[in-house]
Amino acid sequence: MALVELSSVTYTYPTTDKPALKDINLKVEQGEFLAIVGSNEAGKSTLCYTISGFIPHFFHGDLVGEVQVAGLNLEESKLNEWVLNVGLVFQNPFNQISGSKFTVFEEIAFGLENLGVKRSEMIERVERAMELTGISDLADRSPYSLSGGQQQKVALTSILVMEPQVFVLDEPTSQLDPIGAREVFEVIKEMSRAGITVIMAEHKIEWVAEFADRVIAMHDGQIIIEGSPQEVLTSPLLPEHGIGTSRYTQAAKQARTEGLFSETTPLPVTLDQAVAGFSGGNHED
Amino acid sequence: MHQKLSFYVDRDSFLHHLNPLTKLTLVLTLVILSFLGLSYWLPTIIFLFIIIPLSFLGKVAQEFFNATVKLLLPVVGFLFVMQAFFHPDGTQVIFSIWIFDVTVESLSFAYLTASRILTMVASFLILLLTTHPSDLMSDLTRRGVSGNLSYVITSTLQIIPQMQVKAGTIIDAQQSRGLETTGNVFNRVKAVVPLVGPLVFGSLVEVEERAIAIEARAFTAPLKKTSLREIPDRAAERAARWIFIGVIIIAIGLRIWLL
Amino acid sequence: MKIEINNLHFTYPGEIIALSGINLSIESGEKVAIVGQNGSGKTTLVKHFNGLLLPTNGTIRIGDWDTKDHSVAELASRVGYVFQNPDEQLFNSDVKSELGFGPRNLGYDDDRTEELVEDAIELTGLDNYRDTNPYDLSPTWRKMVALGSIIALDSPIVVFDEPTTGQDAQSVEVIARIADELHSRGKTLITISHDIDFCAENFERIIAMSEGEILLDGSVLEVIAQEESLATTFVDPPQLTRLGKELGFDQTVNDQASFLGAYRLSHEQN
Ligand SMILES: Nc1ncnc2c1ncn2[C@@H]1O[C@H](COP(=O)(O)OP(=O)(O)OP(=O)(O)O)[C@@H](O)[C@H]1O
Ligand SMILES: Nc1ncnc2c1ncn2[C@@H]1O[C@H](COP(=O)(O)OP(=O)(O)OP(=O)(O)O)[C@@H](O)[C@H]1O
Ligand SMILES: [Mg+2]
Ligand SMILES: [Mg+2]
């Protein structure tokens, strides 16, 4: 059985009539890295909230269908137990601070204090997590006086350190510099290799293609396509629904219309594919 | 810029090394003594001969005087004036303005109220200046106080500095769009009005955001919490706390007996 | 209106050195992107433009004003700054009053204010949200409100701090169009962004920062060609620039048109 499973999930926020999720069916296996792409308001965050239990336990509203993680049923569970299995990094990086800590180190340790982790182990885990995300030098800084990207990395590290079985990330690299963003993808990929299930909403198509095992694209509360990164990210459905594609894909499509890119070569999403595709086209005629 | 969200000053002092509960018990003792009305001058004596020396002992004297002058004195002063004018009884009129009389009785009552409030707030200030908020929270939860309650206690104690930060942020945003909030008194007063709404609304939003943020960090998980910071609690401190409680009981007893 | 910065140093309380010796001048009507590592001082630098921060050392002049001689409110008539975090910028209870707040403070009459607000609504596409409380909007729309509230100031210098974060392809396109429009109105436009593709496609000059200093400053093509120096600011060259390089193009390309141009050329040569 899949570790995460949503069956016919439809959800409507209490303040609206229009469902934000419509008939979602989704299975994610243990250790899989699933990426969610989609335009603004597509329902990515709503899906993240649902998997991590904040819907329906924090944002009430109307949830129909079934959500299961590790055999547990969401509606029958309590949020404070659910979060022990499923960790969520929120989309807004600026308001995830606990409010009672004075250093970044203490802030990251907060989750482990709540989990009752022994002090010596706690220190070890916090240090390791900060090293992974490259913020060791911020350890003694106040969590309130950081740059935007630094805040986002602290928010990410604060959940990562808790080592949830299912790790849900809602646009965790939006404020990060390009190399920092790639490093975060690498760290998360490592975690998924180690058996943690990763579900991540992201706009950075190039890195999604490079690191995700599977991609779903959302529009208007629905999953419009699901499959391998290559398959989904080059699908004509994406631009049709206002979802960004990589520059490589766009350039190859344009080149194709001019007969400069082979019709049989799959459209490239990553740099390597693009190099292969474009140099292939070069030698063909 | 606006990075201080708490009164806490990180120093290495005797007071800093005390268990938060010990300090809390001490503060409560001082507050109860000031309000019991055992003696007219008691609040003043406590302020001058206990609280001020404590601020030196805690190596936070400068911050203490700063906060007292900027934050406390205006409020206490205002209270004093109000009481002096509007206290209903009193016969020995010292002077009057319009229909309001300032009498010996109203003056003496005003002084008593003001000195009590001063002593109460100043005692808490000493606690806040020398106690890491999360230590107080951890220590309370460790002793069986519910996580939610200790969070509420801790965040209430931080409310003033948090508001200051929030206000600073809003003022920056308003100035950046042309609202003059500096310069003459008129500008400053005028700027308070557009500040209040966002401050209240923003604080409410923040409460909800905080709630969800700490929920995600398993704050309400049904597990026994641990603490990163080691919180000392020596036998001597336990003894001291019993002594404080003893003092409170005796003081209350005295008060009843004297009645 | 010219921006001139001389040997600017800035240290936050707690001895946190954020800027160490910035020299920079930006002419009237330029379109500049600032890129660089997290924590390299980009936000700190632009907060000096409207006086929110004052130099620890050095000077900064906006036109004929030294920022330390003028209040933030006065500087708002010359520099509009869109905060990185929209939550720190928005404080009104509906979108329309949020957008009107600036122009009213600057002393524009009702007609002019109305005109500026309508213009900002049109540019940002906020038409359906006039009466919505900004807090009820999604983070991406809140960012649009923040942009609108500054556009409505009609200041000659406009600074955007990370306008594209979290925006989908269409909204990034909207922001690019806003940038074009403001540029064509003769405004100086300065944008901080981590989206180097966006910068390369839409700006003329790129400044790359690292650890409180400016490491690279030049035309887009000059800057994106320097892969190694860029890497020290934690920025990769744009996707198509990297591809062009891998394919062995002679010249640096910055967008699809220049990439395809170069590709055709190399194709014909083969
Ligand atoms: N708290 C809320 N209350 C009411 N409606 C909401 C709430 N949050 C989101 N919505 C609505 O639900 C729909 C899906 O929004 P959601 O935030 O999940 O989209 P998203 O894909 O995450 O978009 P973005 O890329 O902008 O983050 C939208 O129509 C949005 O307006
Ligand atoms: N309010 C503050 N108090 C103290 N230090 C600060 C404050 N704001 C930022 N800093 C520090 O100053 C340095 C520069 O921060 P700044 O916000 O300018 O970076 P940035 O280039 O905008 O980064 P990002 O891309 O992450 O937004 C960082 O080390 C940061 O931690
Ligand atoms: Mg979202
Ligand atoms: Mg910044």
pLDDT digits (tens, 9 = 90+) for A75-87: 999 999 999 999 9
Ligand 1 binding pocket includes A44 (Cβ within 6 Å): yes
pLDDT of residue B105: 81
pLDDT tens-digit readout, A89-120: 999 988 888 887 889 999 999 999 999 999 99
Query: Is C71 in Cβ contact with B175 (below 8 Å)?
Result: yes
Q: Are A255 and A267 in contact (CB under 8 A)?
A: no
- Span A123-134, mean pLDDT? 96
Instruction: Report which bound ligand comes closest to the CA of C41.
Output: 2
Q: What is the predicted pLDDT for the residue at B48?
A: 93
Res. B1 pLDDT band, cuts 50 70 90: very low
Q: How far is CA B11 from CA B14, B15, B159, C142, C176, in A?
A: 10, 9, 22, 41, 50
Nearest-neighbour CA in chain A from B164: distance (Å) = 14
**Do A175 and C170 count as a contact with CB atoms less than 8 A apart?**
no
Question: What residues of C are in contact with residue A247 (Cβ under 8 Å)?
Answer: 197, 238-240, 243, 256
Query: Which H or E run contains A89?
Result: strand A86-89
Best of A15, A100, A112 to mutate (most B CBs within 10 Å, chain B): A100
Distance CA A154, CA A160 (A): 10
**Mean pLDDT value of segment B27-31:** 93
8 Å CB contact between A213 and A31? no
For residue B3, the chain C residues in CB contact (below 8 A) are 12-14
C positions 7-46 inside 8 Å of B (CB): 12-14
ipTM of this complex = 0.92
Can you give the residue ranges of every domain in chain B?
A: 1-131+232-259, 145-221
CA–CA separation, A39 and C168 (whole Å): 5
Whether C200 and C220 have beta carbons less than 8 Å apart is answered as yes
- Fold (topology level) of A1-85+164-229: Rossmann fold (3.40.50)
Q: Which residue is closest to C155 within chain B, CA to CA?
A: B177
Q: How many C-beta atoms lie closer than 10 Å to residue B182's C-beta? A: 13
Q: Give DSSP secondary structure letters for A191-217.
A: HHHTT-EEEEE-S-HHHHHHH-SEEEE
**pTM, rounded to two decimals:** 0.89
Nearest atom (ligand 1) to Cα of A59 = 1
Closest Cα partner for C203 from C160, C247, C266, C265?
A: C160
Q: Are C249 and C233 in contact (CB under 8 A)?
A: no
Residue intervals of chain A classified under CATH 3.40.50.300 are 1-85+164-229
pLDDT, average across residues C153-157: 96
Q: Verify whether the Cβ–Cβ distance B216 to A52 is below 8 Å.
A: yes
Task: Using pLDDT thresholds of 50, 70 and 90, give the confidence band for residue B2.
Answer: very low
Which one, of A267, A222, A245, A285, lies nearest residue A6 by Cα? A222
Pick the ligand that lies closest to the CA of residue C209. Answer: 2
The DSSP letter of residue A62 is E
Query: Are the beta carbons of C256 and A254 separated by less than 8 Å?
Result: yes
User: For testing the chain A interface, which of C172, C243, C247, C249 should be mutated: the one with the most A CBs within 10 Å?
Assistant: C243
Q: Which residue minimizes the CA distance to atom 30 of ligand 1?
A: A41
pLDDT of residue B156: 78
Chain B residues with beta carbon closer than 8 angstroms to that of A166? none
Q: Would you say residue C147 has pLDDT above 70? A: yes
At residue A107, the pLDDT reads 94
**Mean residue pLDDT across chain B:** 85
**DSSP bridge partners of A73:** A68
The secondary structure element, H or E, covering residue C17 is: strand C16-26
Contact A40 CB / ligand 1 (< 6 Å): yes
Interchain contact, B3 vs C14, CB within 8 Å: yes
Q: Whose CA is nearest to atom 3 of ligand 2?
A: A145
- The least confident of A265-269, B4-8, B47-51, C1-5 is B4-8
Tell me: the pLDDT tens digits for B98-114?
777 777 888 888 899 89
Contacting residues of C for B170, CB less than 8 Å apart: 91
pLDDT at B3 over 60: no
From CA C113, how far away is CA C101, in angstroms rounded? 9
Q: What does the pLDDT read at residue B96?
A: 74
Within 8 A of B222 by CB-CB distance, chain A residues are: 80-81
**Is residue A175 a contact partner of residue A153, using CB atoms and an 8 Å limit?**
no
pLDDT for the residue A285 = 40
pLDDT at residue B181 tops 90: no
Distance from CA of C89 to the nearest CA of B (A): 5
Helix, strand, coil % (nearest 5) of chain B? 70, 5, 25
Judge residue C206's burial from the number of C-beta atoms within 10 Å of its C-beta, 0-12 exposed, 13-18 middle, 19 or more buried.
buried
Q: What is the pLDDT of residues A13-63, one digit of tens each?
A: 998 899 999 999 999 999 999 999 999 999 999 999 999 999 999 998 999
Ligand 1 atom closest to Cα of residue C167? 25
User: What's the confidence (pLDDT) of residue C28?
Assistant: 95
pLDDT band of B132, cuts 50, 70, 90: confident
Residue B88 CB coordination number (10 Å):
8
pLDDT confidence bin for A284, thresholds 50/70/90 = very low
Query: Which of A189-193, B101-105, C44-48, C117-121 has the lowest average pLDDT?
Result: B101-105
Indicate which of B226, B227, B229, B230 best probes the interface with A, i.e. most A CBs within 10 Å of its own CB. B226
User: How confident is the model over B197-204, as a mean pLDDT?
Assistant: 83
Interface of B with C (CB under 8 A): 1, 3, 169-170, 172-183, 194, 197-198, 201-202, 205
- Neighbours of B, requiring at least 3 CB pairs below 8 Å, are A, C
Is the pLDDT at C192 greater than 70, yes or no?
A: yes
Average pLDDT over residues A142-164: 94
Mean pLDDT of C181-202: 96
Q: Look over chain A and give the mean of its residue pLDDT values, rounded to a whole number.
A: 93
Q: What percent of chain C has pLDDT over 90?
A: 87
Per-residue pLDDT, B189: 75
